[in-house]
Amino acid sequence: MTFRWYALASFGLTAAYLAFPGELRGIAFLLITLGAIPAAVMGARRSKGTGRMPWWLLLTALTVFNVGNVLYFWYVYVQHRPTADGTLADLLFSTANIFVFAAALTIIVRRGRRDVGGMADAALTSLAVGGLLWDVVLLPHLTALGMTEPRQMALFVNIFLTLGTFGALLRVSKAAPERLVTVTLFSVASGATLIGNVTSALVSDPHGVRPDWTNVPFLLAYSALTAAAVHPSAAQATRLTPAPKDDLSPGRLTFLGAMMALIPLVGGGRVLFGLPTDGVLLAIGSALVVPLVMVRIAALSAQRRQAEQALRRMAAQDSLTGLPNRGACLERITAALAEPVPCPDAAPWLAVLFCDLDGFKPVNDRFGHAAGDQLLIAVADRLRSCVRDTDLVSRFGGDEFVIVCQATDSRAAVTAVCERIRTMVRQPITVAGQTVQIGISVGVAFAEPGSTTDGLVGRADQAMYKAKQSKALGNLSLAAA
C-alpha cells in the first residue's frame, strides 16, 4: 500500500508538472524531490546488513540534490540569475550524481558479480553508444554553442557515467532469474536521467538557460528512485543471484565486434571529412575497449575451464552417490597393476572387493525408486567410512560397489575393511521415513603376477556370487576367489 501511494503521488505530480502555473512549478518540483528522502530511509530500514548500503548512499545523494535544488531556486528566483550553472548548486548536483552512481554500483556489483561476461558486454555497448551520441550529436552542438571545455568535460563524464549505469542496471535486471521491481525502477531512473542530461544539453542556450519542460525527465528519475526505495523488493536489491547463461552466439559476437569498432570508425570518419571530433573520447574509448575485451576473454576462458572440469567429473563420477564410477575404478586397478610389484614373494599388494547389496530390490519395489536412491546414497556414505583414505570405493553399477585396497599386505587391509563393513551393515538405515535392513555379499580377489584388470574384477565378481549363497539381512557374506 505504501508503494502505491508513494508511486501515485510522485508520478502523478511529475505528469502534472507542466500543468502547474510557472510560479508554482518550483513547489511541485521540491515536493517530488523532498518526498524521495523519507522513501530512501524506508528502503534502508527494510534492508539488512550490507543490503542497506545502496539506500544510505541514495539518501545521501537525495539530500545533496535537495540542498542544490534549494540553492538553484535561490539563484534563479531570488537573485534573478538566468541559470545556476557554475554555482555551488551545480557542484552539489555533480556530487549527488556520484552518490547515485555509487548506490547503483552496489546493486550492480552484488547482483552482477557472477555475470562478468554480461557486465563486460554491457559496458562495451554503453561505451560505444555513448561515443556515438557524443561525437555525432552532442559535440558538434556544444562546439557551435561555444560551451567551454571544462563544462564540456563535466557533461562528458556525466553522460558516460549515467549511460554506463543504465546499461549495467538493464543487464542485471534482464539477466537475473527473478526480475525485481526495485532494480527495474533503478534502471528507469538512470534512463530518465540520461534523457534529461542529453535534452538539456541540446536545448540550452549559450548561457545555460533551458526550457522548463526539461525538468520532467529528472522528475521522472526522482519518482522512479522513490518508488524503488519503498517497493517491498528493495530489501533484496543486493542479493547475490545465480550466474545467468552466457551464450556468446555468432549474432551476439557480431554485435559486440560492431560495438568495438564503432568509436574508432565514427571518430576516424569525422576526421577524414574535416568534422569536429573528440580526441579525448578516442583515447579513452580505445583504452577502455582493450581491458573490456580482456575481461570478456577471461570470462569465456573461465567458463570453458569449468565446463571441462564438469565433463571430467561426469566422466569419472557417479552422478547419484558422488563416488568414482565404473570407468574410474577400472582405471585405478589398471594403474595399480602397472606399478612394479613391491615383493613378488610377499603378501599380495592389491585386492578388489566386489560388493552387492542384499535386500535392495524389495526396498526399491516397496517404497519406490526415490527410496532406492536414498538407500544407495546412504550405503555409499557408510562404505566411505569403512576404508582408508588410500583405498577407493566406487559404484560399479546398480547396487554393486567395488572397493580397491592397495597395501603392503592387502590381506590384513581387507580383513580390517570387512570387519568395519560387518559392523556397519548391522545398523538399520532410514529411507522414506521407514527403517530398513540390508545385507552385503562381498567377493574378494587378490592380485597375482600377470593379473589383468578384467581378470581380477571377474574373479572378485565370481567370488561375490559364492558369497550370495549364504546371504542374510543385517550381515556380511564373504567369499574369496
**Would you name the residues annotated as active-site residues?**
399
Please name every residue paired with 480 in a beta bridge, in sequence order, or none if there are none. 444
Residues in the chain: 481
Q: Which helix (H) or strand (E) holds 76?
A: none
- CA dist 325 → 133, 312, 317, 392 (Å): 58, 12, 5, 11
Which residue(s) pair with 394 in the sheet? 402
CA angle 254, 260, 263 (to 5 degrees): 135
Q: How far is CA 377 from the centre of its chain?
A: 30
Q: Using an 8 Å Cβ cutoff, are 356 and 468 in contact?
A: yes
Q: Per the structure block, which three cell numbers stand in for 350? A: 592389491
CA dihedral (100, 106, 107, 113) positive or negative: positive
**How many other CB atoms are there within 10 angstroms of residue 212's CB atom?**
13
Beta strand 476-480 with 439-446 is parallel
Q: Taking the chain, what is the end-to-end CA distance rounded to the nearest angstrom?
A: 77
